[in-house]
Amino acid sequence: MQRPRGVTILAVLALIVAASNLLAGALLVTGTYTIEQVFGPVPKFGDMQADFEHILKFTILALSLAILGIGVGLLALKNWARMAMRVITVFGILGAVISMVMAFGDGEAGRFLVTAISGGLYYWAYYYLGRPAIRAVFGPHPHPPPGSVSSPPAPPPSSDSAG
């Protein structure tokens, strides 16, 4: 079955995000850039600041590799990649809602609008990957949901004892 265009778009976006985050993570780990240069002001943790930054650098790399794998999995129509992308979109929606509330409280209409658009895109991706037609493209599920019937039961063998 041919891969739907929307799945291809989501996979390419995941690969682009993963590549840019891998680059940023590599620049942070090698010391080319600092956390403040990449993210701007970050909370200060006193004596734990160096540990916080070290953990953050490697977390960025680990998540980038995971998203890279999800993008490749989407291109290969792997159901685990579809489900993982849906989980990521839930976190994206939650982050967008939090950012919208903060932007509204700060009176920043531009940030509010950009975040609302990004939240809408996350919602679209969540909805799109959950549609029955798209789920069907990713192949049969190894475990059907409880209570669902995958196929009608076979009729019992008939005994022809006419005689």
Among 2-16, 55-69, 147-161, name the one with the lowest average pLDDT: 147-161
Query: Cα 122 vs. chain centroid, distance in angstroms?
Result: 9
- Report residue 150's pLDDT band, with 50, 70 and 90 as the boundaries: low
Q: What's the rounded mean pLDDT across residues 132-138?
A: 91
Q: Is 3 part of any domain?
A: yes
In total, how many domains does the chain have?
2
Over residues 115-142, mean pLDDT: 89
Could you tell me the pLDDT band of residue 5, with boundaries at 50, 70 and 90?
A: very high
Is the same domain home to 133 and 85?
yes
Taking the C-alpha atoms of residue 32 and residue 107, their distance in angstroms, rounded to an integer, is 35
- Do 86 and 135 sit in the same domain of this protein? yes
Given a cut of 90, is residue 91 above it in pLDDT?
yes
Tell me if 5 is assigned to some domain: yes
Using the predicted structure, report yes or no on whether residue 110 has a pLDDT greater than 80.
Answer: yes
pLDDT at 149 over 60: no
53 and 97 part of one domain:
no
Find the range with the poorest average confidence among 11-20, 71-80, 98-107.
98-107
Which range marks the domain in which residue 32 is found? 1-40+49-77
Tokens 């680990």 sit on residue? 62
The burial of 157, by beta-carbon neighbours within 10 Å (0-12 exposed, 13-18 middle, 19 or more buried), is given as exposed
